[in-house]
Chain A
Amino acid sequence: MLGNEAIAHACVEADLDFASGYPGTPSSEVVDTLRRQDVRDFYIEWSVNEKVAFENALGAAWTGVRSLVTMKHVGLNVAADPLMTSSYTGVKGGFVILSADDPYAHSSQNEQDSRLYAHFARIPCLDPAGVQEAHDMMAAAFPLSEEFGLPVLFRPTTRVCHSKSDVELGEPGQGHRKGNFEKDPKQYVVIPAHTRVLHKKLNEKQDALAKRLVELGYNTYEIRGKTGIVTSGIASEYVKEIVPDDVSVAKIGAYPIDEEWLAGFVSKHETVLVVEECAPVVEEVVRQVAFGTTIYGKKDGYVPYEGELDPASTAAAFEKAGILYNGSFPADSSSVEGLPPRPPILCAGCGHRATFYAMKKVFGKKGIYPSDIGCYTLGLQLGAVDTTICMGASITVGSGIANSGEENPVVCTIGDSTFLHTGVQGLINAAYNNANMTVVILDNRITAMTGHQPNPNTGVTAMGDPSPSISLEALCRSCGVSFVEIIDPYDYVAMVETFRKAKEAQGVRVVISRQPCVIDARRRGIKRKSYFVDTDACTGCGICVKFGCPAIEFIDGKASINALCSGCGVCAEICPQGAIRSEVKR
């Protein structure tokens, strides 16, 4: 079973009443699994962003129900505002914040460590080492939250979320609660007079909390010699795989760490190596409690700071620290060099590619192209993405550049889900401050990259109920934008015409490029005739190849179209020879 599915099952076992989230790899399958349950006796939603999702779930927890909010690590930045004060107010029903970290940034813009957020907010954090433990910890997270009246941060990593393993599940729970909000302004209205009291109460919980996490068996150690390893999360699995019998191991599965307990372990060893992924969270505490013990870790270069660990890199850290290990890892196992790379690319027939192509045609090499987070970040390969930093930042970075005195045209791209996430505020700001720029909304009606989750633009909720589909054009106009045009990315000629019009206009111009995601369209049975190249007419100029569609190949000096063709027809419009035609000849 997939880690995220096991986590979702644990929520059902714990009688979850309320769930919300915003999709983000590697967290998305938790809500996707929950919303697809045959029998679902809890409320669930995809929210428009993580802050909204967090506050929804927090409100629910204040009514006494058990609630869950899910996001990826960078989503917690968006939700950091309510997080930092939710520890003061506390909760009544169990409240679990799932924030999935992504060491090695497999599908992310950074490698930040959610454990630091738990430390910052002074709430408990659970750090599972594998699928079974993720399941067990999630089921126990709700009662833990209720016991201390605090939100619990649950922090799996990519190799837990997207790992599969045999797993023992429990029975679904039976005792649901109904929300009942009891007014208590001293708890829920954080005016200065209240919050000072709440802050003190929060601090007073810490010692008991740290001790309780040891009692619950999340933080354990076994003393077997004079050398010790302190490890956490999935890194502890790599340690277990290679550690010899005479080396002690302390495993950290939850925070805050009881410093007295940890000092008890560290002081019994001459040497301690700390092995963990992401930030040196455990290492900081180990160094703080160590007197006379030599400590090795990230801070002195014994364990890599960046990326993810595996058995071989863990063994390398052991070796560097002079600790023997089990197993052998060949030193000369480097990859073959000089192979052509195979990066992910936009699908054949993806409307984004055509939009980028037309955009570049009109605004040229001098155009400045801020972009955003989504499949369309792959527009980088088409030279149509110049910046990406975080969700919603295309419009804001764009208006900043436009108002900096830069004279070249600014054309930013943002997907529909990202626009509704945090892009719309940027548009309001750009229109308000008279920025001179073009905003292209790549509207494929769905949150595609993370697995096709619905959003307010899709016309359906996470539960599958119909809901009013938002009008992006009306929304943009009401932000104060008067130039709002809608284009079909499969109509190349009209698209170029609209971009030319936008180029000549002043102020904020919005162009909405609308065509359903090609994967989603195929699933819904939309079929188009594929295209072929008339090899007699093809001169081998290579223009269609530069378009970068995976359905177009270049063999023996001529273009050809393979079975991936979805029939969008854009290549036929850009071929100067008219050599690409519809209908199958083969």
Chain B
Amino acid sequence: MSGSYDLLIVGVGGQGTILASNIIGEACLAEGRDVRSAETHGMSQRGGSVETHIRIDGKFGPLISPGTADLIISFDLLEAVRYSHFLKDGGVIVSGKDIVVPTSTFQQGLEVPSRESLETMLSGREIHIIDAASAAMEAGSPLSQNIVMLGAASHHLPLKQESLLKAVTKLVPPKTIEINSRAFEIGVREGKK
């Protein structure tokens, strides 16, 4: 058995999944733990669906197989459903409540599932829906939604919240440390509800 805690961070290219994964990686290093992750680079970052695999205490390859993830952090409700098959029985989903509607649906006239129907598709699993946009506004910048989500998911990660917060202050742009620290704390609060 791998013995690692396996999570996916998913969202839309440009939402800050890689920064969030770097923060978890940094927190692992600070706690002296092994970590493996696999990222989406290149063209997929242009507004496409993106996924990062992270294996805390991972000693082998970085990829997580479907049906085996402990946690999915999603910045978008539609993406949470798209990757939900990666979750193991008893796994947890922490997802933002909003949906970035794919541009292709407007072009091709496809139907976009409603928030309610997406939530129904996720039923039967432990799911925490976070109003990341409002929380980020409260923190002071709509750009801090990824850090809000990280704070909200911190209750489920096998890492100390202070290690994560320290990693946040180390990795976000210097001018935004205050806003992002606040975003993390607000995320922690919202994730408790």
Q: Which residues of A contact B (CB under 8 A)?
A: 25-26, 106-107, 130, 159, 162-166, 234, 237-238, 240-241, 308, 310-313, 315, 326-327, 329-330, 332-336, 339-347, 375, 377-378, 381, 449-450, 545-546, 548-550, 552-554
Contacts and interface: CB of A to CB of B under 8 A. Distances in A.
Contacts of B35: 164-166
Interface string B60-71: 111111111000
Given A107-B41, A342-B79, A326 B1 contact: yes
A449 B106 contact: no
Given A25-B42, A327-B1, A347-B46, A340 B60 contact: no
Nearest to B101: A553
Interface in B67-90: 67-68, 78-79, 81-86, 88-89
Interface stretch (B110-118, B152-160, B165-173, B178-186): B110-118
B120 to A, nearest CB: 11
B48 to A, nearest CB: 3
Contacts of A340: 78, 102, 104-105, 110-113
B138 to A, nearest CB: 18
A223 to B, nearest CB: 21
8 contacts: A162-B40, A241-B61, A311-B68, A312-B68, A335-B66, A340-B110, A344-B46, A545-B107
B122 to A, nearest CB: 9
Interface residues of B, number: 58
B104 A345 contact: yes
A311 B45 contact: no
B44 interface: yes
B123 interface: no
A190 to B, nearest CB: 37
Which of A326, A339, A341, A449 has its CB near the most chain B CB atoms (within 10 A)?
Answer: A339
B127 interface: no
A330 B88 contact: yes
Contacts of B37: 163-165
Nearest to B89: A330
Contacts of A346: 46
Nearest to B44: A344
A525 to B, nearest CB: 15
A378 B1 CA distance: 41
B2 A165 contact: no
Interface string B2-40: 100000000011000000011001001100011111111
Given A106-B44, A330-B67, A342 B78 contact: yes
A534 to B, nearest CB: 19
B102 A341 contact: yes
Given A25-B41, A339-B113, A450-B42, 15 more contacts: A25-B42, A166-B35, A240-B60, A311-B60, A311-B68, A327-B1, A334-B85, A343-B49, A346-B46, A378-B46, A381-B107, A549-B103, A553-B101, A553-B106, A554-B106
B177 interface: no
Contacts of B46: 344-347, 375, 378
Contacts of B47: 342, 344-345, 347, 550
Contacts of B36: 130, 163-165
A342 B107 CA distance: 12
B63 A25 contact: no
Given A333-B85, A335-B85, A550-B103, A344 B45 contact: yes
Contacts of A339: 78, 81-82, 113
A185 B33 CA distance: 55
Contacts of B89: 330
A548 B112 contact: no
B121 interface: yes
Contacts of B85: 333-336
